[in-house]
Chains A and B, each alone.
Chain A
Amino acid sequence: MIPPRLPPPDRKILPVWDIFATAVVVLLIAFAVNNVITNMSLAGATPGFGFLWQNAGFDVSEALIPYSPENGYYRVIIVGLLNTLLLAVVSLVLATALGLLIGLMAVGPSPIGRIAASGYVEVFRNLPKLLILLILFVTAVNELPHVRSAVGFGGFYLSNRSLYFPTLVFTPQIWGVLASMGGAILLALLMQSRLKQHRIKTGKALPMLGACVPCVLLLPVLGAWVLDVQWVWSLPEFAGFDYKGGLRLSLQFIVIALTLGLYHGAQIGEVIRGGIEAVPSGQGEAAQALGLSRGQALRLIILPQVVRIILPSMSNQYVNLIKNTSVAIAVGYADLMSVAGTIINQSFRPLEMMLITMGMYLVICLSVTMMLNRMNERLRLAQH
């Protein structure tokens, strides 16, 4: 009998492809860098980031931090970055809300609602986002009234240039109210965990919402009353050529946020519909058989599974949405991309500017992906 033998160890082979690919990449990069240096020196420049401290010399339509054309390029880049982030957050909320509505309508009980949802999805999935943006933009500019005759609605004024809305003037007491609100939420969370322990121990469910909601609502009101807060509103008022006071959002911002909301709302709606339909109907029936109410079944059985199913696609959608804020350049909103474009045209520093811009998008997108991945993993662990 032949004694069993271990299989022969893998032959050590020379990693030809590794060496070849590395060599090609290194050579290509060297070639490109060499050409960049030669080309730039022909134009009388050397690559470097020193230009960031030169005067930008151009104004932007809107900025979240004080900015004037005398500031350096670095500052206008920050302005653009902040505008991109604001746009991303607002459109994200819009798209999620719309997607939720569309997704629920698509699986909802009303057949007419289902038709409306699928019609909406079909239209917005089959049109390029740039076209949607341009159509909305020309329509808004043509159809909305001039600033002089802006449509007003409870302190909101919409014209074909911008939307003005009232803001609260922050006084020290308001911080007190905010603090009491935070305290109330903390208290509610504490109460919730206590109630849960109580339920686990005794098997009796105490009214959770009944205890938490009044607490969260009442405490800030109490705080406001104790501190005797003066509510000061800054209201937009028409003065001369434009409105003064309040806060201003440009029409560009509104139209882009709306476009991204509509475009990604359709896709998120599809994701949510798919997620709900992917939960087997037996789950709901089993919950019913256990005696859970409809609301309980939805909250405790169906929803957690839907969230787990849709989270990977949702994180994809969110990253895509953040990347798509760059279409803002087509209507001249001063986001990161269009600021970078202006700087490239002005300073002729394409390489440096594109490195900065791509780096910033990279950091934003990768951190969002990482955050959502972590959430995904936590939900996965909660499975058993």
Chain B
Amino acid sequence: MNERLISLRDLAWSAVNTPLSLVLTLLALIVFSQVGWAAGHWLVFQAVWPWQPADLCAIHSGICWPFLTEKLRFILFGTYPYDDHWRPALASFLMCALSVQTGLQMIDRGFRLNALQTLAVWGAVLLLAFVLMAGGVLGLERVDSVRWNGLPILLILSIAAIAMALPLGMFLALARAQSRFRALARMATAYIELTRAVPMLTVLFVGIFVLPLMLPPGVKISPVGATLVALIMFHASYFAEDLRGGLQSLHKGQDEAAKALGLPYWKRVGLILMPQAIQRSLPSLVNTIIGAYKDTSLVVVLGIHDLTATARMSFSDPGWRGYSLEAYFVVGLWFFVSCAFLSVIGRKLHRKAAIG
């Protein structure tokens, strides 16, 4: 793309000046008008606003806000004890705030924390979120993990899985990238290739159905725990491949210079190789993270009530049947906003990496 200043008139003219251009423009305009018409109809013209009575929803075909004002808390927090909703709300807020902060930090905005501080804050927040959700201490009532529903479970599962899959992926990448220990490299390769060639759902099924069988008799693992283990095992191979890409793109001289300085293996990895590899693979890591976050919604299939599942439950209530689009609208909006934020970070990192 050559950088040229184009006037608006030229731009408009280029939309119609060749047959191909004209066809594409017309096609796009048809799609736009159709989508715009449907969206306007649903969101504005036929909408029943929050202050209008809910009975109107049966007559109007647009979005039913009374349904959402009634059910929003259920969609967000599910069957968590109603009076304690501030706990999942606070936990979700903390995790979101920290995710935004970490994202901004990657593109040199927000608070500047070093790696150790970031790690410490993340550990503290995850622990705090867990305590808030589970209770049982500090006078908070104990809440079983079966009742952790909606937004907080989505955030906990995706963030905890990503946070723990990253170090595991790092070890897998290192094991695969080295050539000194052949058996270790082969095992890492086999593990990575096998998990990457099967759907995530099969790994989740293994977690929920096979993992309990593999534990000694009498040892129990909660569905949330089993799902978390499966997610970590699955995402680790994807992170491993991203990081291996970063490791392989490093110049050989980096490792050789570190060796010449007499650094032992773990110091070479920790001080020279890994920091650079992470820096280089950040764009693809962010892509993998977005994918992992979106795919966390698949835990619905295992009977874990994340945001998508609570949305589904909210319109199975006999009094509110048929308002499925409203419920999914909330979920879609949430995913769209959060993923768009991550995408923006990813794109900035790409640009940064391209500049060097």
Contact = CB atoms under 8 A, between A and B. Distances in A.
Interface of A: 15, 17-18, 21-22, 25, 31-32, 35-36, 38-40, 42, 105, 108-113, 115-117, 122-123, 125-131, 134-135, 138-139, 142, 277, 281, 319, 323-327, 329-330, 337, 340-341, 344, 350-351, 354, 357-358, 361-362, 365-366, 369
Contacts of A358: 198, 202, 206
21 contacts: A17-B181, A25-B187, A35-B216, A108-B20, A112-B15, A113-B21, A113-B27, A113-B28, A115-B28, A123-B336, A126-B343, A128-B295, A134-B308, A323-B200, A325-B199, A326-B200, A330-B300, A354-B210, A357-B202, A362-B194, A366-B197
Q: 10 closest pairs, A vs B, by CB?
A: A350-B209, A113-B24, A116-B28, A126-B339, A110-B24, A326-B199, A18-B183, A128-B294, A32-B214, A323-B199
A110 B202 contact: no
Contacts of B12: 111
Contacts of A39: 212-213, 217
Contacts of A22: 183-184, 187
Contacts of A21: 175, 181, 183-184, 187
Given A17-B184, A111-B11, A323 B21 contact: no
Main secondary structure, interface of B, reads: helix
Contacts of B199: 323-326, 337, 361
Contacts of B187: 21-22, 25
Main secondary structure, interface of A, reads: helix
Nearest to B342: A126
Interface residues of B, number: 61
Nearest to A32: B214
A127 B295 CA distance: 10
Contacts of A354: 202, 205-206, 209-210
A130 B297 contact: yes
A105 B28 contact: yes
B200 to A, nearest CB: 7
B215 interface: yes
Contacts of B181: 15, 17-18, 21
A319 B200 CA distance: 13
A351 B332 CA distance: 35
Interface of B: 1-2, 11-12, 14-15, 17-18, 20-22, 24-25, 27-29, 31-32, 175, 180-184, 187, 194, 197-202, 205-206, 209-210, 212-217, 294-295, 297-298, 300-301, 308, 312, 322, 324-325, 328, 331-332, 335-336, 339-340, 343
A111 B15 contact: yes
For B12, B17, B18, B24, which residue has the most chain A Cβ atoms within 10 angstroms? B24
A126 to B, nearest CB: 4
A106 to B, nearest CB: 10
A108 B335 contact: no
B183 A131 contact: no
Contact of B201 (A108, A135, A319, A329): A329
A226 B295 CA distance: 56
A110 B15 contact: yes
Contacts of B28: 105, 110, 112-113, 115-117
